[in-house]
């Protein structure tokens, strides 16, 4: 068998409605997946993480990362798998010393504080320092056996920079905003090396088998409109321009997601991405009016709705489906990651409701 025919056989998907919806092609029902669908709300995930020892050990073990990626697919008829990894793999590979403080989230031993720190940084080799991620992608693709597509991802340059400069999570973002406004050249230099790093990282994920990629701009919404375009959006647009957009004989769709980015939907859609992720603070009907002729939309149920009764969850799903309306171009998702204390059976109600209630919108 030739290399091309191997690639072609690997690209055969039993369920490709997620990819089709991202490209605004007809589908039978609205596809659905959940941000953080592999995670702490599942008891089997907790058991596998305990086996790994800690979070980063789980990320760096291809077989265990594959196992937790597949766990939600065994429970729910999801239309996509997402690589189990972390957005902070790139800064960790740059030597910042990532660790996780109990109850406080990610921290860095060597945060970025000045131009000299930035000057020392180089884009990590995706098949070198980050090869464990590519090994996980290859393992997951093999074990998925063409059931559903695999999503690769990265944090946006701005979001990665917030962690690198703040030294971890932040509420006020004073350190990175001080750099943005007092030393903008330093921050732009950092964002530039991160944009190059994310581009090569995502292209390597695509080469390893990711069939769609997503950029998470978790903290873009803390910026003013002008500063968002200057410090976040222009770097995501640069990444989109540099991505491999076709592999294995199929288009590789790109989704951009800025949390609290509802006011900038038009600008995000103008980057050339295929889909725009929506959080729950914007009405999907309004979003479709504004940009739905140009890109697909992903979202956007409030993750906290999964605490509600079965009837309330189904009602919310019906409302969002009605808001989007007829036709393809909608990937149903939560507006952010599923919460760790949501009962798994509520996630099942959500997934089943999307599939069942969306049928009339695709006739």
Q: Helix (H, G, I), strand (E, B), or coil: what is residue 240?
A: helix
**Binding site annotation covers 274?**
no
Residue 45 known to be catalytic: no
| Nearest CA-CA partner of 334 in 35, 72, 79, 77 | 35
Residue matched to tokens 């991620």: 133
Residue 39 annotated as binding site:
yes
Q: Is 49 a catalytic residue?
A: yes
Q: Is 218 annotated as belonging to a binding site?
A: yes
290 belongs to the catalytic site = no
**Distance from C-alpha of 291 to C-alpha of 277, rounded to nearest angstrom:** 12
Q: Which of 75, 86, 138, 307 is catalytic?
A: 86
Residue tagged active-site, from 16, 18, 40, 99: 40
25 assigned ligand-binding residue: no
Asked if residue 38 belongs to a known ligand binding site, the reply is yes
356 is in an annotated binding site: no
Q: Is 86 one of the annotated active-site residues of the chain?
A: yes
Which contacts of 60-65 are long-range, i.e. CB under 8 A and separated by 24 or more positions? 60/132, 61/132, 62/132, 62/135, 62/136, 62/138, 62/139, 63/139, 65/136, 65/139, 65/140
237 close to 258: Cβ distance less than 8 angstroms: no
> Cβ(65)–Cβ(152) under 8 Å?
no
Q: What is the Cα–Cα distance from 270 to 71, expressed in whole angstroms?
A: 36
- Can you read off the two tokens belonging to residue 340? 């760790």
Residue 348: strand, helix, or coil? helix
336 annotated as ligand-binding: yes
Query: Is residue 163 annotated as part of the catalytic site, yes or no?
Result: yes
Of the residues 163, 201, 235, 324, which is catalytic?
163
Show binding-site residues. 36-40, 86, 163, 218, 336
Show binding-site residues for substrate. 36-40, 86, 163, 218, 336
Which residues are annotated as catalytic?
36, 40, 49, 86, 163
């Amino acid at each position: 068998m030739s290399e091309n025919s191997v690639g072609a056989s690997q690209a055969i998907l039993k369920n490709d409605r997620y990819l089709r919806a991202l490209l605004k092609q007809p589908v039978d029902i609205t596809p659905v997946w959940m941000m953080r669908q592999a995670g702490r709300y599942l008891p089997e995930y907790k058991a596998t993480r305990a086996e790994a020892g800690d979070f980063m050990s789980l990320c760096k073990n291809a077989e265990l990362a594959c196992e937790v990626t597949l766990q939600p697919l065994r429970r729910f008829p999801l239309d996509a798998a997402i690589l189990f990894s972390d957005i902070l793999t790139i800064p960790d590979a740059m030597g910042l010393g990532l660790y996780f403080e109990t109850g406080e989230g990610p921290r860095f031993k060597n945060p970025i504080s000045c131009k000299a720190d930035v000057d020392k940084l180089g884009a990590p080799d995706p098949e070198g320092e980050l090869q464990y991620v590519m090994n996980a992608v290859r393992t997951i693709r093999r074990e998925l056996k063409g059931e559903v597509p695999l999503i690769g991802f990265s944090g946006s340059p701005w979001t990665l920079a917030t962690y690198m400069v703040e030294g971890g999570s932040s509420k006020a973002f004073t350190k990175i905003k001080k750099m943005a406004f007092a030393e903008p050249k330093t921050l732009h230099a950092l964002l530039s090396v991160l944009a190059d790093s994310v581009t090569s990282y995502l292209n390597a994920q695509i080469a390893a088998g990711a069939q769609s990629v997503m950029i998470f701009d978790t903290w873009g919404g803390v910026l003013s409109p002008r500063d968002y375009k200057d410090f976040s959006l222009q770097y995501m647009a640069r990444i989109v321009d540099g991505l491999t957009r076709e592999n294995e004989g199929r288009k590789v769709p790109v989704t951009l997601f800025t949390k609290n980015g509802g006011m900038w939907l038009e600008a995000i859609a103008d980057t050339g991405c295929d889909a725009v992720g929506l959080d729950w603070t914007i009405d999907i009907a309004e979003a479709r009016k504004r940009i739905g002729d140009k890109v697909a939309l992903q979202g956007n149920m409030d993750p906290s709705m999964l605490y509600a009764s079965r009837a309330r969850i189904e009602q919310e799903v019906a409302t969002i489906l009605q808001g989007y309306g007829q036709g393809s171009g909608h990937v149903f998702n939560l507006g952010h990651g599923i919460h760790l204390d949501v009962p798994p059976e509520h996630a099942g109600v959500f997934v089943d409701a999307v599939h069942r209630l969306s049928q009339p919108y695709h006739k």
